[in-house]
Chain A
Amino acid sequence: DVKVTQSSRYLVKRTGEKVFLECVQDMDHENMFWYRQDPGLGLRLIYFSYDVKMKEKGDIPEGYSVSREKKERFSLILESASTNQTSMYLCASSPAPQASGSNEQFFGPGTRLTVL
């Protein structure tokens, strides 16, 4: 079974703090994604990565950065947390399409971040 783990289930930070959210997958997937989930807005893509050292902006990258130094790990960074970044953050991974014939995304359990 695919396993995607996230470093924290719940996190409380103060405005202006630097926040790191870590995601690790154990299925050797090439692709990794960070989403935020807010009531009524569904899942919105922040950043994604198709390979180590690669990163691409999603739909809402402002205020975020990412790091992918190893294939299995994809980190989301909030350089200076703000209250409007209070949300549920979901990490996902998927195989490269040519590798498996499918590229369904598998999600971690989520990190609920509260910025005070």
Chain B
Amino acid sequence: GQQLNQSPQSMFIQEGEDVSMNCTSSSIFNTWLWYKQDPGEGPVLLIALYKAGELTSNGRLTAQFGITRKDSFLNISASIPSDVGIYFCAGQFGYGQNFVFGPGTRLSVLP
């Protein structure tokens, strides 16, 4: 089946640092979603992107729909301890079709 790649797989950062992660696909998507999953919980939707080039913010989080439609980026500014978790991207090929999920980026924030 179709696959998404996320980079990096994991990262350790100091509190206060900015974070960047990305999601890539060999196929074109028309929707990108970014989720965060806390340990032992279900994923929570952070940001949804619907248009190539779109840049959307949610507090300290900013996500972009890549211009090629094959990638998306998530940035977190001024990280805090509660940012710890796994960040998943999900892509959708066509409107109404099922989403494909990436394997996740595990973020650890050191005080």
Contact = CB atoms under 8 A, between A and B. Distances in A.
Given A40-B103, A102-B48, A104-B33, A45 B98 contact: yes
Contacts of B43: 43, 90, 107
B1 interface: yes
Interface stretch (A14-22, A66-74, A75-83, A108-116): A108-116
A64 interface: no
Contacts, number: 47
Interface residues on A, range: 20 to 34
B48 A104 contact: yes
- Among B40, B44, B50, B99, the most chain A Cβ lie within 10 Å of the Cβ of B99
Contacts of B41: 109-110
B88 interface: yes
Contact of B101 (A4, A42, A104, A112): A42
Given A90-B42, A105-B90, A110-B42, 12 more contacts: A4-B42, A9-B40, A35-B101, A42-B101, A42-B102, A42-B103, A43-B43, A48-B98, A103-B95, A105-B33, A105-B99, A112-B40
Interface of B: 1, 33, 35, 40-45, 48, 50, 88, 90, 92, 95-96, 98-99, 101-104
